[in-house]
Each structure stands twice: as C-alpha cells, then as structure tokens.
Amino acid sequence: MGQIRINKSEAARRQLDSAIRMLFSNEDLVAIFTLAVAGLNIVKGLAEKRTDLVFQEGLKRLIRPGTEKEFWQNIQRPANFLKHADRDPEAILDDGEDEDIDWTLFIACMYYKDLGFQLTPEMSALISWHMSIHKDVLLEEKQNIFAVEQIGKMLISKSRVEQLKIGKEFIVFFRSYHNRY
C-alpha cells in the first residue's frame, strides 16, 4: 500500500472539491457534511493564525455580536454528531438542513480564497451558485451584480434538485473557463 503525502491546504482543497461535486450530484448528505466540515476546519484553522484576511474580518461582521460561539456550534453540530458516537450513542440528528451544507461550503471556499489559494472550478461554481441564491451575501465584484441577480431569480424558482443540477452545470462552465486560462 502506498503512502499519502499531503499538506493542509491540499487536503482541504480535495475535501471541499469532493463535497461540492457530491452536493451538486445530490449524493449522501452525511458524507457531504463530513467532508465539508473537515475542509472548513482546516481552512479556518489556517485563517486563525493570520490577521490580514478580508473574508475573516467580513464574516465577523455578519455574525451577530455575542452569538459567535452559537454560530460555529451550529456549523459544527452535524460533524460533531457524526464523529462522537461515544458521547450519546442513542442520539438522533434531526435539525440539519440542506442549506447548512451550502453555507458550510461557501464559508470554507471563501476562507480558502482569502488565504490566497487559487479557487478550483468546483469552488468557483459553488460560490457563484450560492451567491445567486443568497443575494444578501456581499458581492466582491460589483460588476457581476446584474448577472447574479438574474441567475438568482431563475435558481430561486427551481426545486432543490433542479438547483443542484444547475450547480453541476456551473462546475462544467468553470472547468472550461479554467482550462482556457
């Protein structure tokens, strides 16, 4: 059997890309949550060592003061449930929602970008897809507001399954764009 040699940013990239592909393929939510939170934990850990990150500072402004601990507990709750069977073996997770995964992946991708790493086509697709659905998220590139609003109107009118299929098409688009440049 071979050895695995990988650094933290590469591990996070692979976890996030896999989770995004699985999300847009409408695969197992438990597996997606596990990968998404694992990737988020890595990039969040890397970001906590830095003070010069734009998204990290912006995220602090989006979280209501005094609720930071609760915010991160809500993000971590599904992953903690899945990895800590010894704490409460009879517990049932019944308050997780699809959008929790979306937000977890979005935050992780924005941390990844803020750390100076090149976004992958999967990450670019997830960010664009998420920002189109959640137009209340601040846009960095103001010139794209019209396009995001138009795509958002179209996405919001679709079912969750249709939204995910469109997200998968976003990956194809960003891969073709990425391969050209």
How confident is the prediction along the chain (181 residues), in pLDDT tens digits per residue? 678 889 999 999 999 999 999 999 999 988 998 899 999 999 999 988 887 877 777 777 667 778 778 777 777 777 677 766 777 777 777 766 777 889 899 999 989 998 999 999 999 999 989 888 876 554 444 445 555 567 777 888 899 999 999 999 999 989 987 766 5
Query: What is the DSSP code (8-state) at residue 158?
Result: S
One-letter identity of residue 6: I
Q: What is the spatial distance between Cα 94 and Cα 118, in angstroms, rounded to a whole number? A: 36
pLDDT tens column, 65-100: 787 787 777 777 776 777 667 777 777 777 667 778
**Close Cβ partners of 78 (under 8 Å, ≥ 6 residues apart):** 33, 37, 93, 96, 100
Q: What is the spatial distance between Cα 70 and Cα 89, in angstroms, rounded to a whole number? A: 23
